Amino acid sequence: MRYALLLYDVPANWANVDDARMGTLHKEYMAVADDPRAYGGAQLSPSDAGRTLRLAEGELLVTDGPFAETKEVLSGFYLVEAASTEEAMEIARRVPTLSQMGGAIEVRQIVER
């Protein structure tokens, strides 16, 4: 089965990360990306650089940033192959977003068509 691991970070938690710590975190993120069960993923640009589109009464409305005000923002994702949701969660537990940076990871099975 294939899963998306959606990473939600708290941007304020990254404010005081020094270069040495950033290097260590980067290695840990790359270790998950290099896991043979991972087959894709990406870091996303900061949420304030995004745009949200909505249709209201047939009119396109574009707003800066994420859809809703929240302390956690979608910061990236991994695509993994796992035998079960539990195995996908084991992979997710290794991601520094969860284990060290106070964020959250949503594990969602990908619908196969």
Q: Which H or E run contains 60?
A: strand 59-64
pLDDT (0 to 100) of residue 47: 84
Q: Which amino acid is at 62?
A: V
Do the beta carbons of residue 101 and residue 9 sit within 8 Å?
yes
Q: Which H or E run contains 2?
A: strand 2-9
Q: pLDDT tens digits for 30-86?
A: 999 999 999 999 999 988 888 888 898 999 988 887 666 667 889 999 999 999 999
Q: pLDDT tens digits for 11-25?
A: 999 999 999 999 999
Which domain CATH number covers 104? 3.30.70.1060
Q: How many domains does the chain have?
A: 1
pTM greater than 0.75: yes
| DSSP conformation class of 113 | -
Residue 62 domain boundaries? 2-109
Annotate 19-41 with b (16+ C-beta within 10 A) or e (fewer): eeeeeebeeebeebbeeebbeeb
Identify which of 51, 30, 44, 39 has the alpha carbon closest to the alpha carbon of residue 4: 39
pLDDT (0 to 100) of residue 101: 94
